[in-house]
Amino acid sequence: MDNCIFCKIVRGELPSKKAYEDEEVLAFHDIRPIAPVHLLLIPKAHVDSLAHCDGTHQAILGRMLLLAPRLAREHGLDGGFRTMINTGRDGGQEVFHLHLHVFGGGERIPKI
Ligand code: AMP
Ligand code: ZN
């Protein structure tokens, strides 16, 4: 995806503050954090959103979810954290490359 900003981050064409990387997943700090720790976990292979995933994405979705508590722990979120996936325009998604928000720290996040 030539013009996708997260694909550009994967390719190293845009800078990011990386928190984790393996052959399939990249995690980096959100550029506009809403909490003291705010990470974005993405599959390296482009997929627009959770609504565009199918059975072929089962393993990568599992990897991303299982990575969340590990990175949260590594970033000191011992008291817990929140995960969020915005999907589609009405779901508040702004960047159309699937990403899992992991954030927390500071004040307890209000319950939704
Ligand atoms: P969403 O609204 O779920 O699509 O979230 C997109 C997120 O990507 C927002 O929290 C933005 O702050 C974040 N973001 C956009 N561009 C960048 C970037 N170049 N590096 C890091 N985070 C970004
Ligand atoms: Zn992309």
User: Is the per-residue pLDDT at 63 higher than 90?
Assistant: yes
Rounded-to-integer distance, Cα 22 and Cα 53, Å? 20
Distance CA 98, CA 7 (A): 11
Residue 99 appears among annotated catalytic residues: yes
Q: CB-based burial of residue 64 (10 Å sphere; 0-12 exposed, 13-18 middle, 19+ buried)?
A: buried
Q: Report CA(12)–ligand 2 centroid distance (Å).
A: 12
- Answer yes or no: are the C-beta atoms of 112 and 103 closer than 8 Å: no
**What are the tens digits of pLDDT across the range 4-31?**
999 999 999 999 999 999 999 999 999 9
Atom 18 of ligand 1: nearest residue by CA position: 31
Residue range 48-62, pLDDT digits in tens = 999 999 999 999 999
Decide: residue 109, CB within 10 A, 0-12 exposed, 13-18 middle, 19+ buried.
middle
Whole-prediction pTM: 0.97
